[in-house]
Structure 1
Amino acid sequence: MMTHVEDPQQSLLDPDYDGSDLAEYGDPEQFGSADFDNDRPLRPINWNLLSADEALVEWLDLNGWVTWLRLSYGLPPTVVPPYWHRHDELVWELSALHTHWLNAYDTEGSPSGPIGWHRDFAEARNRLREWVSTAGCRLDRDRPTRQTTWPGETPIETGPEVGIVDRNADFHQFVADDVAARRRIEEQVRAAS
């Protein structure tokens, strides 16, 4: 996995934090020289079950990999839009691709792993295009994924379309909010015990 800042959750949760020491995670050249942790077991990522600390590590790793992926393969925003992190369907798909890629290119893996990954990547690009189209994501603006309300359910309010001004700043704020929410849940569970 990628090398991480010494205590990233403290800086991300600081209201005055500008994200400058996390710039390496959005730089594909840094990803290309990433230090992978061979002691950490490869496993599927269930975003619903991650602790705050685990989520922070996974968000940063996934962000670096997605940046590398979109630049290495010349992926347009119709496949990977700037605010992919704000769409669960894209996070799950990209996370699965990332885990699959790590396995396919593992030094202990099968020599045919990379070709299998590329076959699956072709299928995944079709799904990504469909979800991006359905959500209405664009290079310069984004809106929350539309939710269908079933009969008898309370309508779900979706936020308005927003302009994309600084993708990295939005990502860092999104991760800080996610980590803070997970910490609050962890604290509530500890307090209830």
Structure 2
Amino acid sequence: MTTSNDAEDPAADLSSVPPEVLRQVKQMVSREYAKDLRSQLGSVPRSIDWTRLSPEDLEHELLELNRFVDWLRHTYGLPPQIIPPMWHRHPELLWELSALRQQWLTCFDAQAKGNMGIVFHAEFAAARERLRDWVTISGTRLDRDRATRITAWPGGEADDFTAPDTTEYPVENRTEDFVSFVEEQVLARQAAQDAEVQEIVNSEWSDQP
């Protein structure tokens, strides 16, 4: 005899559900649970490989990094000997600051442990010393900038290697230069991506009978 309590008990109804339907329902519940869990935990910050980003992702990440660097230098009062205005023009500074941003995102994630703030500041202290070294090597300053010099090795460079132009220029409008830099990088990445796609298309077309 079925009681009213049995009728209201979800477990009592499962026996009448066909196995295939039950399996599909469980899969749907599992997917919804995973989706909800991801929304609560957020995405885990990953290291950024700047050489592999799509043009769209490259633009996004450059803008996000610029916001972080601006926040960082204002919050901690960092001088140009650590973060100069033209950091974006120097790959060694861009990679270092990018790594620091990812560390900050990891340490101050909503799910991070309570001691991760101390971990970040320990890493931040070491990063500041490295940034000083990079700035010294690069030669970029508050009011002037030049490309980082690369010393060519005798017999150790590719045939198409060209040493960078290290002419020094005054820094007049950093914001305009950053915007131009982003546009240059995105266009260059788009051209490289288009060339790669064209190469694949040509290769597949040549294989056609």
TM range (shorter): 0.7 to 0.9
1:85 lines up with 2:92 in the alignment:
no
The higher radius of gyration belongs to 2
1:107 equivalent among 107, 110, 113: 110
2:128 equivalent among 125, 128, 137: 125
**Residue aligning to 1:144:** 147
Identity among equivalent pairs (%)? 44
- Runs of 4+ aligned residues of structure 1 deviating over 3 Å after TM superposition are 38-41
1:173 lines up with 2:173 in the alignment:
no
**Residue aligning to 1:12:** none
- Give the aligned residue type for 1:104: C
Between Structure 1 and Structure 2, the one with more helix by share is 2
Q: How much is the aligned-residue C-alpha RMSD, in angstroms?
A: 1.6
1:46 lines up with 2:23 in the alignment:
no
* CA distance in structure 1 between the aligned counterparts of 2:64 and 2:162, rounded to whole angstroms: 35
* CA distance in structure 2 between the aligned counterparts of 1:125 and 1:191, rounded to whole angstroms: 43
2:73 equivalent among 60, 70, 75: 70
* CA distance in structure 2 between the aligned counterparts of 1:125 and 1:94, rounded to whole angstroms: 10
* Worse overlay, 62-71 or 130-139: 130-139
Which structure has more relative contact order (CA 8 Å, sep 6+)? It is: 1
- In structure 2, the gaps of 5 or more residues are 1-40, 201-209
- In structure 1, the gaps of 5 or more residues are 1-37
* CA distance in structure 2 between the aligned counterparts of 1:49 and 1:175, rounded to whole angstroms: 16
Q: By how many angstroms is 1:121 displaced?
A: 0.4
